[in-house]
Structure 1
Amino acid sequence: MKILVSADMEGATGVTWPADVLPGHAQWERCRTLFTDDVNAAVAGLLAGGADEVLVNEAHWTMRNLLLERLDPRARLLTGRHKALSMVEGVQHGDVDGVAFVGYHAAAGAEGVLAHTYLANSVTGVWVDGVLASEGRLNALVCAEFGAPVVLVTGDDRACADAAGYAPDARTAAVKDYVSRYAAVCRPPAVTAAAIQAAARAAAPLALRHDPVVTGHAIAVEFDAEHLAGAATVVPGVEQTGPRRVAYTVPDMYAGIRCFKAVTTIVSAAVEEEYG
């Protein structure tokens, strides 16, 4: 049994503030250890629950945050940027039986610690078939197309609640409780490690490949400024549908997430430092 761990950082133990997750800050250096420990707890639990192989895919920012020298030696680490499927790179090869989302967070436009969808500020909402979509929902739809169920989600309490909408059978472990976008009631690392490991152990038996679920989708993206919507239309098939909103349709979520990556890349380049 092979399980892919998609590891994001905003939902890690103790993380509540931008400097906790932005490379180059002293707090980021400190939180890298907490992040790696959360991943190690998941790896240990998944292996104890029956997994034979665990591949950890870095999914945060530069995708070079986890500390390889602290990683459980029984796991392997896929690190670095510019991967075809970004946060769930590796699921497309047909050998992944289940996927774990570790350190995940709520969607842009929803309540949650450091809530966002791909871009920290510029994207104010993403909808798939009319439903507000977190990164978890987007990535779960991609995984479903390759027959891999999401079996575990960890993050704040709002991220765990969000998971019920896209992976209702998955096990969850909340490491902190939302107070505001930049504040949370945090559990100590010893407590969260035990909770993550227990949830992962229970999640591993759920890693049962299913038939691919491939379907078309209508995707809408809203930005915090009008010019960003205009900039996004340089991507073929993306049309402006409102002052700050674009939309596009895709035959499957593989195309959907790749188009979304293109949109966010273009939009990032169109943001000016002072005026956005």
Structure 2
Amino acid sequence: MKILISADMEGATGVTWPDDVTPGAKGWERCRSLFTSDVNAAVLGFFDGGADEVLINEAHSTMRNLLLKELDERAQMLTGRHKALSMVEGVQHGDVDGIAFVGYHAGAGTEGVLAHTYLANSITGVWLNDVRASEGLLNARVVAEFGVPVVLVTGDDVACEDALGYAPSALKVAVKDHVSRYAAVCRTPARTAADIRAAAKEAAALAVRHEPADAGPFTIAVEFDAEHLASAVTVVPGVVRAGERRVAYTSATMYEAIRTFKAVTTIASAAVEEQYG
């Protein structure tokens, strides 16, 4: 049994504000160990549950945040950016039996600690076939095309509620309770590590590949906080204006849809000058 862990940071234990997840910041240095603890707890739990192999795909920002030396030696870690499937890189090779979303968060335009979708502020909302979409929903639809079930989701309580919509059978572990965008009631690392490990052990039984989903086509709409970002991303083939600050495109598969989404967000990010989107 092979498990892939997609590891994001905003939903990690103790993380509550931008400094905690901004590479190079003092808060980030402190929270790297907390983030690594959550991921390692999932690793340990999956091996407890019978996994033969666990691959961790770094999915936050620079994708160079986890502390490799603190991970269980049986695990492997894929670190660094510019990967074909970004947050779920590795799922496309046909050897993954289940995937865990560790440290996930709510989507742009909703409540939740550091809620966003790919870009921290520039994107104010994303919709997949008219349903508001988080990163969890988008990634769940991608991995479904490869026959891989989402078996575990960790993050704040809002992220766990969001996961009920896209992975109802997955185990959920809330490591903190949302109070505001920048505040949460946090469990201690010892408690969250124990909770995540226990859930991952149980979730391993859900890691059973299924027939690849074929639910296309997929229409994705993206709303920005500034008109010029909507204009900028229309250089991507197939992306058209759908409002003053909104664009949309349709793809036959989620594989194609997420790769187009990656292009849209990359161009939008490059079009922001300092604090003005």
Map 1:222-241 → 2, pairs under 5 A: 222-241=223-242
The corresponding residue for 2:43 is 43
In the TM superposition, what whole-angstrom CA distance separates every residue of 1:16-40 from its partner, at most 9, and x where no partner exists?
Answer: 0100000111110110000000001
Q: Give TM-score scaled by structure 2 length.
A: 0.99
The corresponding residue for 1:206 is 206
Which residues of structure 1 form unaligned runs of 5+?
none
The corresponding residue for 1:254 is 255
Distance, in Å, in 2 between the alignment partners of 1:144 and 1:242 is 30
Indicate the SS of the match to 2:235. coil
Q: Give TM-score scaled by structure 1 length.
A: 0.99
Map 1:32-111 → 2, pairs under 5 A: 32-111=32-111
Identity %, equivalent residues: 75
The corresponding residue for 1:139 is 139
Distance, in Å, in 1 between the alignment partners of 2:165 and 2:49 is 24
The corresponding residue for 1:24 is 24
Runs of 4+ in 1 over 6 A off after TM superposition: none
Supply the RMSD in Å over aligned alpha carbons. Answer: 0.6
Deviation at 1:158, TM superposition (A): 0.3
Deviation at 1:191, TM superposition (A): 0.6
In the TM superposition, what whole-angstrom CA distance separates every residue of 1:72-107 from its partner, at most 9, and x where no partner exists?
Answer: 111000000000000000000000000000000000
Residue identity matched to 2:194 = A
Deviation at 1:216, TM superposition (A): 1.5
In the TM superposition, what whole-angstrom CA distance separates every residue of 1:192-217 from its partner, at most 9, and x where no partner exists?
Answer: 00110111111000000001002210
Residue identity matched to 2:243 = G
Distance, in Å, in 2 between the alignment partners of 1:68 and 1:202 is 25
Corresponding residue pairs, total: 276
Indicate the SS of the match to 1:5. strand
The corresponding residue for 1:112 is 112
Which residues of structure 2 form unaligned runs of 5+?
none
Distance, in Å, in 2 between the alignment partners of 1:22 and 1:197 is 26
In the TM superposition, what whole-angstrom CA distance separates every residue of 1:125-168 from its partner, at most 9, and x where no partner exists?
Answer: 00001101000000000100000000000000000000000000
Deviation at 1:182, TM superposition (A): 0.3
Residue identity matched to 1:249 = T
Deviation at 1:71, TM superposition (A): 1.1
